[in-house]
Structure 1
Amino acid sequence: MCTENQKPVFRDLTAEDPDPEVTEIESFCVNCHANGLTRLLLTRIPYYKNVVLMSFSCEECGYENNEIQPGGAYAETGVRWKLRVVDHRDLNRQVVKSDYTSVKIPELDFEVPAQSQKGDVTTVEGIITRAETALTQDQEARRLDHPEAAAQIDDFVESLQELRRLDKPWTLELEDISGNCFVENPEVPRKDPNCERTDFIRSEEENHILGIFAPDEVSDEAAKPTVPDVLLSPADPAQCTYESLAADEILQFRTNCPECNAPADTNMKITNIPHFKEVVIMATNCDACGHRTNEVKSGGGVEDKGVRFEVRVAGRHDFSRDILKAETCSMEIPELEVSVGGRALGGRFTTAEGLLRATAHQLATAPAATGDAPSRAAPGLHRFIDKLYEVLDGKRSVTIVLDDPAGNSYVQSLSDDPNTLDDGIKISRYDRSFEQNEELGLNDMKTEGYQGS
């Protein structure tokens, strides 16, 4: 396959690419019922995600409509955000909402249902302002025809204005079944003191709303070609399965680049970590945009107990310690007041040095540090990155705390005796809480008395 002229599907709009690929489609005009023209442009918002820009225009009646849609896949889980708004910094937080984001303010018993508004990038104050604008749009006519209803709306708008004036603290709750919702943390990389994020497993009904169906929910003919690509080998695509892969075999298959969506190659290999378990290592290289990614997934299921590692990094001799960080494992560095969730760095098999460098790189390329719009978190991010490089230069010692409720993470002991730990590592195992089991999807699993079809 020739890739010399291969270009990313979603490309940056730059001066070097003055002729972007715009797709034009003849479309039905909902205003005058004539035929108009829809233009589609697949592009990238820097440091955010791939998007599809849609513009419709009708020459008959002059009707125009513009829309933006995410160009990536839905997240594996839904997300809930609970923000306590206590000062003007919270009002100025940036918020990314998708079409599937619902907005609630419990103090006012106020709710904006999902799919009632188009997705946009706004602020907490912008959400309140948009609600005020929508409620007061037809107030003049309403005061003449329905004065009682207009008076009630005026009272409610006054309550919304009290929220903007911060007469008292209030709560903003966002829920998005697609997972494409975000609330800015002005304290990054520190843990947000006023905001809580919770991931949840979608229900079957919520999957159907997003157009996600299980194989047994579609027809046999439609289900036949849905064999996962990761189970297909170029040598024998019909027979290759996870169990049949040899430990020294590297499986290569075609996929799409997570950055630009162009065709790319992914390599997959099963390896055994001594004194731990088998893991699957996957690496993707994209020739179109140069993006590289690696990921590690456990070869087994969820362990009976969660595990917590405390790893002391006091010098260069600690940098070579092997670390397997699963995607369910969160990381904390108390000395630097930093805490990141498991999905921030993903699953990876690396060293202590590699984990710190990956953290520094991801924060250095975060929107708050390098995005187009200025952020209040940028100075704090730069100071933290400088401190992180002091650790990498051996000028500062820190403790890396890894907490994996699934128990699928591993940290190498540098002791000569494989049955004992060295002084720089502490391991503790614990029983998971109900909330941790809920996030892992274990509370809904039935493992006893189950009869398959």
Structure 2
Amino acid sequence: MSVINEENVRGGGGEQLFKDINAEDDELEPTIVESLCMHCYKDGSTRLLLTKIPFFKEIIISSFSCPHCNWTNTEIQSAGRIQDQGVLYTLKVTSKSDLNREVVKSDSATTRIPELEFEIPAFTQKGALSTIEGLLDRAVAGLEQDQVLRRIQDPEVAAQLDEFIEKLKALKNVESEFSFVIDDPSGNSFIENPLAPQQDPDLTVTRYRRSEAQNSVLGIQEEDPEPELEHPGFVESLKNEVLVFNTNCPECNAPAHTNMKLVQIPHFKEVIIMATNCDSCGHRTNEVKSGGATEEQGTKITLNIAQPIDMSRDLLKSETCSVEIPELDFELGMAALAGKFTTVEGLLKDIKDLVMKNPFTCGDSAVSERGDKLRAFAHKMDAIISGELKARLVLDDPAGNSYIQNICAPDADPQMETEKYTRSYDQNEELGLNDMRTENYQQEEP
């Protein structure tokens, strides 16, 4: 690891530090700073590239080299914000092709292989942009680093490590199925889905709320609890006001304003619409939160898109809602898109943009076959939006807080089917309802 003078990498004069990757941009050149080599303690050089990846936003790629001892070190660091939720990736490696999946592992991520009871704790390795095979090779190299000295000082431990290293190397032959798990409370890690935009049956992605201990490790300060409202009529007054509060832009971190409005959706319930506009970089974002409680039952809404008027139906997708288009074999899990209050057309366009702008499916690393599949998917999405192709849109919300406008209200809509169902134990667990007690929760005095 090299020691870098922080003042050498600061931007001045209002210049944009993080630039988009563009092969034709001559200005996208690394910054070279003089650094101390921690191997021979002589002067070396570090090349820094501050760039933006659409999925990971800002990142810092650094490469150190020492001309005296020829020691090198490369790493990747996330310069973007910590995500609202942590993420847990579980991949079943069943073939050698799975070893070629691209992986982004941040320094706050924990890597596990349950079959070997092997774990790489968080903050013990620097962030890396690699593959499954590359991370296995990195783990083997770390274990073999001091084996020569260990065989002299403690032969018994060295022999046990040699045996374990052989097991790690044997995983690359994929003679038997094993699991590869990445648990990142910052939410900035990623495992490639080669079947995108379809769901990968071997890859499970779970987003979760961080614990207080994880927030403390990440350096996030807990917000103070909101004071109780003294007057019940205060909520009623919010319906006629737009609240404005200060925040930071999620793209450039400049001071910005967020507007919040409480809106009543006809024949449904209250929702909270939040919109952030940044005057510095022009970034805009909006999100919808449910203003009510979690319903007693989940809701599954199926809309048959058959007429152009169906594209203009109002639609509310909560953050706990998954989206499915059976005609395209497409499924979008919960939390992949934030809560949205839009139209059917708006949701379909957002899904198309989310799939097509993912750099791991359409970037320089994408294979031609995958690009053909995505272009075919985009063509079918355009056909659905234009009315050339009939399809079904399915919203499955276990919290029951999603909605599609019924244009025949208060009568039943022949093109739309709404089903209420009882949530499973796993769905209640994901919503945090299994351990929630709202009655008789106070301990009785002895």
Q: TM-score, normalised by structure 2?
A: 0.82
Aligned residue number for residue 402 of structure 1: 395
Aligned residue number for residue 280 of structure 1: 272
Aligned residue number for residue 423 of structure 2: 432
2:219 is the alignment partner of 1:211: yes
Gaps of 5+ in 2: 1-12
Secondary structure of 1:396 counterpart: coil
Secondary structure of 1:344 counterpart: coil
Secondary structure of 1:117 counterpart: coil
Aligned residue number for residue 271 of structure 1: 263
Secondary structure of 2:196 counterpart: coil
Aligned residue number for residue 205 of structure 2: 197
2:120 is the alignment partner of 1:112: yes
User: How far did residue 198 of structure 1 move?
Assistant: 1.9
Q: Is the 8 Å Cα contact of residues 75 and 127 (structure 2) preserved in structure 1?
A: no
Task: Spell out the pairing of 1:333-344 with structure 2 (5 A cutoff).
Answer: 333-344=325-336
Give the counterpart of 1:92 among 100, 105, 109.
100
Cα distance in structure 2, aligned partners of 1:47 and 1:372: 14
User: How far did residue 412 of structure 1 move?
Assistant: 1.0
2:311 is the alignment partner of 1:319: yes
Letter in 2 for 1:427: T
Q: Which moves more between the two structures, 255-264 or 33-42?
A: 33-42
Change (3 A) 1:340 1:13: closer
Letter in 1 for 2:205: R
Structure 1 residues 139-191: Cα deviation after superposition (integer angstroms, max 9, x where no partner): 33434444443333332222222210111221112222222221111001111
User: How far did residue 85 of structure 1 move?
Assistant: 0.6
Give the counterpart of 1:159 among 156, 164, 167.
167
Cα distance in structure 1, aligned partners of 2:134 and 2:59: 22
Cα distance in structure 1, aligned partners of 2:356 and 2:73: 37
User: How far did residue 200 of structure 1 move?
Assistant: 2.7
Give the counterpart of 2:320 among 313, 320, 328.
328
User: How far did residue 403 of structure 1 move?
Assistant: 0.8
Task: Spell out the pairing of 1:24-103 with structure 2 (5 A cutoff).
Answer: 43-52=51-60, 68-103=76-111
Give the counterpart of 2:371 among 378, 386, 391.
378
Cα distance in structure 2, aligned partners of 1:145 and 1:383: 61
Cα distance in structure 2, aligned partners of 1:360 and 1:19: 29
Cα distance in structure 1, aligned partners of 2:259 and 2:26: 31
* Identical pairs, percent: 47
Cα distance in structure 1, aligned partners of 2:102 and 2:258: 35
User: How far did residue 383 of structure 1 move?
Assistant: 1.5
Q: Is the 8 Å Cα contact of residues 66 and 72 (structure 2) preserved in structure 1?
A: yes
Cα distance in structure 1, aligned partners of 2:401 and 2:298: 8
Aligned residue number for residue 389 of structure 1: 382
Structure 1 residues 66-102: Cα deviation after superposition (integer angstroms, max 9, x where no partner): 6543223323332222211111221111111112222
Aligned residue number for residue 136 of structure 2: 128
Secondary structure of 1:413 counterpart: coil
Aligned residue number for residue 235 of structure 1: none
Structure 1 residues 22-43: Cα deviation after superposition (integer angstroms, max 9, x where no partner): 899x999978999999998764
User: How far did residue 272 of structure 1 move?
Assistant: 1.2
Structure 1 residues 392-422: Cα deviation after superposition (integer angstroms, max 9, x where no partner): 121211111101111111111121x41x321
Q: Is the 8 Å Cα contact of residues 85 and 207 (structure 2) preserved in structure 1?
A: yes
User: How far did residue 48 of structure 1 move?
Assistant: 2.5
Cα distance in structure 1, aligned partners of 2:14 and 2:122: 38
Letter in 1 for 2:317: K
User: How far did residue 133 of structure 1 move?
Assistant: 1.3
Cα distance in structure 1, aligned partners of 2:63 and 2:179: 36
User: How far did residue 279 of structure 1 move?
Assistant: 1.3
Cα distance in structure 1, aligned partners of 2:184 and 2:269: 35
Q: Is the 8 Å Cα contact of residues 7 and 288 (structure 1) preserved in structure 2?
A: no
Q: Which moves more between the two structures, 140-149 or 422-431?
A: 140-149
Aligned residue number for residue 150 of structure 1: 158
Q: TM-score, normalised by structure 1?
A: 0.81
Change (3 A) 1:67 1:103: closer
Task: Spell out the pairing of 1:216-235 with structure 2 (5 A cutoff).
Answer: none
Change (3 A) 1:92 1:209: same
Secondary structure of 1:79 counterpart: strand
Aligned residue number for residue 220 of structure 1: none
Q: How many residues align?
A: 426
Change (3 A) 1:243 1:27: farther
Q: Is the 8 Å Cα contact of residues 360 and 366 (structure 2) preserved in structure 1?
A: yes
Q: Is the 8 Å Cα contact of residues 99 and 114 (structure 1) preserved in structure 2?
A: yes
Letter in 2 for 1:154: D
User: How far did residue 361 of structure 1 move?
Assistant: 1.8
Give the counterpart of 1:448 among 422, 439, 442.
439
Q: Which moves more between the two structures, 254-263 or 402-411?
A: 254-263
